[in-house]
Amino acid sequence: MEQAIYGNEKQIKRKIFIRLAIVYALIIFFAIFIIIPFYWMLITAMKTLTQVESAPPILWLNPAEWQWVNFSGALEQAPFLRFTLNTVVVAIIATIGTVITTILSAFAFARLNFKGRDLLFMAFIATMMIPGEIFVITNYITVSRIGWVSLDQSYFEAILAMTVPFMTSIFFIFFLRQAFKTIPNELYYAAKVDGKTDWQYLWRVMVPIAIPTITTITILNAMNTWNAYIWPQLVTMQEDYRLVSNGLRNAFDDTAGRIMYHEQMAASIIVTVPLIIAFLLLKKYIMRGVSRSGIKG
């Protein structure tokens, strides 16, 4: 309902205006606080080395003077195209695996009756509270023992080590099960009457209905891969096999010598921009995931 306003019109309007102005001022203040690191990243990436290393810092650059050459400089520091390719490969494989295992088990939990279902589901949920570090130790042992992590690691082995442990997710199973649960039972009975098997019902009815949720799962999973740092750092033995986050950090560590901040920031932009574009285009789907989760990190 609209807010009805009363009293001396002029006075009230002024009061409301002032209150709104304060709210906007506060919002803008914090918005600037949020935006500054992005801006600083951008402006630094566009400077020459002399401009970067000037004090006081240069806060504004005419776009005509922007040093786009820094991007090619960044790409020379490390094979970012290679890292991007690796990341895309890992993201695709891990996401396909996750989506398939998630659909199958979400279906079992949402639709099928079997002994121990509730108990198993409880066990799943309980493990969501256990911090990932506990798994990482043993998983590192496991992939090493399998032979995926060794000094003469092949590209294929590196990809396996980075994808297989992440081909399922309890959170996504939970998330998709909730979506499946909202599909009315009548559809299932109708399909049964029409002689459809469970398998057909899953792929012809449930999956198409749950496409928005599956899309959300796909996007979040791909974003997680893009931001993954810890595990790939552990299990890749050659620089060439690394993902973007690792490549970015390793290429511009000061242990490697003096940091070229303009190129570091240019590389950061290369890593950041795809995420921002994805966010702007797919906000609706990302938000759907957020309303139910704390899965970042």
Partner 1 sequence: MEIKLKNLTKVFQSKKEEETVAVDNLDIVIPSGQLTGLLGPSGCGKSTTLYMISGLLRPTQGEIYFGDENVTPVPPEERGIGLVFQNYALYPHMTVRQNIMFPLENVKMDKQESLEKAQEIADLVGIGHLMNRKPKQLSGGQQQRVAIARALVKSPRVLLLDEPLSNLDARLRLQTREEIKRIQRDTGITTIFVTHDQEEAMSISDEIVVLREGVTQQVGRPQEVYNNPGNLFVAKFLGTPPINIFDGEVKDGRLMIGDADIAKKDIDDREVTIGIRPEGFKMVERSKFKAEVDLVETIGRDTTLIIKHPNDETQTFRAIVDADYGVEPGDTVKFNVKPHKMHIFDKETGEVL
Partner 2 sequence: MLEDQSNVKAWFYLLPALILLGIFIFFPIFNAFFLVFVDEYNYMQGTYEGFTLINNFRYVVTDHNFRVAMTNTMLLTFVSVPVSVIIALLISVWLNAIKRLQGFFQTIFFLPYVTNAIAIGMAFAFMFHVRFGLINWFLGIFGISPINWVNTGASWGTAIFALLVYVTWLGLAFKIMVFLSGLQGIDKQYYDAARVDSASRSRVFRRITVPLLSPMIMYITVTSFIGAFKAYTEVIGMFGERLGPPGNDRAVITVVALVYRSLDRSGVPGALSEAAAASLILFGVTLVFTMVNMQVSKKRVHY
Interaction residues for partner 1, span 6-45 (CB under 8 A): 6-7
Q: Binding partner of residue 151 among partner 1, partner 2, none, CB under 5 to 8 Å per kind?
A: none
Q: Is the peptide bond before 56 cis (omega within 30 degrees of 0)?
A: yes
Interface residue with partner 1, options 2, 152, 186, 254 (CB under 8 A): 2
Name the residue type at position 251: A
Q: Which of 107, 174, 180, 285 binds partner 2 (CB under 8 A)?
A: 107
- Site stretch for partner 1 (CB under 8 A), options 4-12, 97-105, 115-123, 276-284: 4-12
Considering only residues 108 through 137, tell me which ones interact with partner 2, judged by CB under 8 A: 108, 112-115, 117, 120, 124, 127, 129-137
Residues 150-189 that bind partner 2 (CB under 8 A): 164-165, 167-168, 170, 173, 188-189
Q: What is the DSSP string of 169-218?
A: -HHHHHHHHHHHHTS-HHHHHHHHHTT--HHHHIIIIIHHHTHHHHHHHH
Closer to partner 1 by Cβ: residue 6 or 156: 6
Residue 64 or 151: the one with the smaller Cβ distance to partner 2 is: 151
Q: Which does 265 bind (CB under 5 to 8 A by kind): partner 1, partner 2, none?
A: partner 2
Smaller CB separation from partner 1, 1 or 25:
1
The distance of Cα 8 from the centroid of its chain, to the nearest Å, equals 52
| Complex with partner 1: residue 1 or 151, whichever CB lies closer | 1
Which parts of 57-86 interact with partner 2 (CB under 8 A)? 57, 59
In the complex with partner 1, the residue whose CB is nearer, 6 or 29, is 6
Exposed (0-12), middle (13-18) or buried (19+): which is 277, by Cβ within 10 Å? exposed
Name which position in 5, 27, 69, 92 contacts partner 2 (CB under 8 A): 27
Nearest C-alpha neighbor of 160 from the set 239, 115, 97, 230: 97
| 5 interacts with partner 1 by CB under 8 A | yes
Instruction: For residue 221, report the phi and psi dihedrals to the nearest 5 degrees.
Output: -65, -45
Partner whose binding site includes residue 2, from partner 1, partner 2, none (CB under 5 to 8 Å by kind): partner 1
Judge whether 136 and 230 are in contact, CB under 8 Å. yes
**Region of residue 283 (phi > 0: left; psi between -120 and 50: alpha; otherwise: beta):** alpha
The CB-of-1 to partner 1 minimum distance in angstroms stands at 6
Q: Which residue has the tokens 């290429």?
A: 251
Instruction: Closer to partner 1 by CB, 1 or 34: give it.
Output: 1
Rounded Cα gap, residues 199 and 69, in angstroms: 54
Give me the least distance between CB of 22 and partner 1, in Å please: 22
Binding map of partner 2 across residues 239-258, x = CB under 8 A, - = no contact:
-----xx--xx--xxxx---
**What is the spatial distance between Cα 238 and Cα 254, in angstroms, rounded to a whole number?**
20
CA dist 74 and 251 (Å) reads 9
The CA distance from 156 to 240, in Å, is 12
Give the interface segment with partner 1, choosing from 1-9, 73-81, 174-182, 281-289 (CB under 8 A).
1-9
List, in order, residues 6 or more apart from 78 with CB less than 8 Å away. Answer: 239, 247, 248, 250, 251, 267
Q: Which residues bind partner 1 (CB under 8 A)?
A: 1-2, 4-7
